[in-house]
Amino acid sequence: MTDVLFVRELAADHDLVLAFAADGSPAWALDLGSGLQWWYDGGDRCQVREAVAEHWSSFASMPITAASHAGPHPALELGRRAESVARVEPPSEPWRPSVGQVVEQLRALSLPARVALAVGALLLAVTVVPWVAAFLTGGATGSPGLDDEQVPAVAAAGQRCDVRGEVSHDADGRVLVCVSPSRALSFALEWRAAT
């Protein structure tokens, strides 16, 4: 295509190939280093596209015919604007794995990694499950099913106790109840006067 002229130019450390239409107006540019290409306003025409496709394989071997190092190059300024627009991506949805995806990822792990993961899950279950169960049962009010023998006949206020809501008496016969003395340490229980 003789109506499109290609020029290779070095501009501020960029290796550019510029395409000019038959009337001399800039139509297209390519940064050979990054592979980014952009169109000038009005340059996106069928004849220019056909010429770019025809000469695409020869751009890297074209002789450099110009070099400009003073000031910003108009093609690079246009390319910066095109590059910033080209790299904007819509926000991605948060990844929500399905059961199948998790199973496939586990299958992709090596045998030692799967064994380590299983041991870690087992240790976590052995330590966390009893603690959670104790926390939940310790938070229950009252203690149905306990024998009278398990509740001390005489307790002292301030002494540690085991079951929240349990009732006992001190040496003077006052009623004591097993409660948490502070909300900050709800797991610590001690005998307190009921009134």
Q: Which amino acid is at 60?
A: A
Q: What's the pLDDT band for 84 if we cut at 50, 70, 90? A: very low
Q: How does pLDDT run across 110-143, given as a tens digit for each residue?
A: 899 989 999 998 988 888 888 888 778 765 444 4
**How, if at all, do strands 64-68 and 37-39 pair?**
unpaired
From CA 177, how far away is CA 164, in angstroms rounded?
8
**Backbone angles phi and psi of 188, in degrees to 5:** -85, 125
Only one residue has tokens 């306990």, namely 146
Per-position b or e across 135-167, b if 16+ CB within 10 A of its CB = eeeeeeeebeeeeeeebeeebeeeeebebbebe
* Amino acid letter, residue 24: G
The domains of the chain are located at: 5-86, 103-138, 140-195
Question: How far is 188 from 110, CA to CA, in rounded Å?
Answer: 44
* 53-62, 75-84, 174-183, range with the lowest pLDDT: 75-84
pLDDT by residue (tens digit) across 29-43? 888 888 888 888 888
Compute the CA torsion angle 144, 145, 149, 154 (nearest 10 deg). 0
- Which carries the bigger pLDDT value, residue 85 or residue 63? 63
SS3 label, residue 65: strand
Distance of CA 11 to the CA centre of its chain: 39
Which amino acid, one-letter code, is at 154? V
